Amino acid sequence: MESNLVSIICGLVALAVVFIGCIVTLIILNKKQKKDRQVDDVKIVEGTRMTKDGIAITENGNVKISLQKGDILLERGKEYICKRGTDIIPGKYTVLSCDENNKTFNLRIGGIVREYSHFSSIVLLENDKISAVSHPVILR
């Protein structure tokens, strides 16, 4: 009877060790993914995103579209919520058109639809809702 009890306890301890190892592995992978999504010139200060503007227009004045590390693609018609701990956190963003033929596009921020142009700056606050209305948009 005692040997059965010891083997059950050893089995439970082994399961607990495996479970804790899985949790630690998931935490490490999650931190690595978040680090991979960061743009080089972005600082996060107390959960707010601080960036430097990059160049998004060519010398000829044409729209320059290229996804960079850390860019967020807003799909047309899908609503996103700006919250700490998600991809879209409060702070200043540059909005870029995904359509080379259109330099202007519509965004719904906080329930209000407004026209923006390629390389405009927006500021998103905690719990702001944002969605691309006319076509996909890149947040940088």
Two tokens, residue 29: 């992978």
Are 67 and 56 a contacting pair, CB within 8 Å? no
How high is the pLDDT of residue 32?
62
Q: Residue 38 has what pLDDT?
A: 44
Q: How far apart are CA 69 and CA 123, in angstroms?
A: 20
What are 108's strand-pairing partners?
113, 131
Topology annotation, domain 42-139: Jelly Rolls (2.60.120)
Per-10-residue mean pLDDT, the chain, length 140? 83 89 83 52 61 53 63 90 89 86 89 91 93 90
For every residue of the chain, which 3-state class applies, written as one string? Answer: CHHHHHHHHHHHHHHHHHHHHHHHHHHHHHHHHHHHCCCCCEEEECCEEEECCCCCECCCCCECCCCCCCCEEECECCEEECCCCCCCCCEEEEEEECCCCCCEEEEEECCEEEEEECCEEEEECCCCEEEECCCCEEEC
* Residue labelled with tokens 């960036």: 51
- What CA–CA distance (Å, rounded) separates 93 from 89? 10
Which pLDDT value is given to residue 69? 72
* Per-residue model confidence (pLDDT) at position 73: 87
| 90-111 residues labelled b (16+ CB within 10 A) or e (exposed) | bbebbbbbbeeeeeebebebee
* Sequence ranges of the domains in the chain: 1-36, 42-139
Written as six digits, the tokens of 104 are: 């202007």
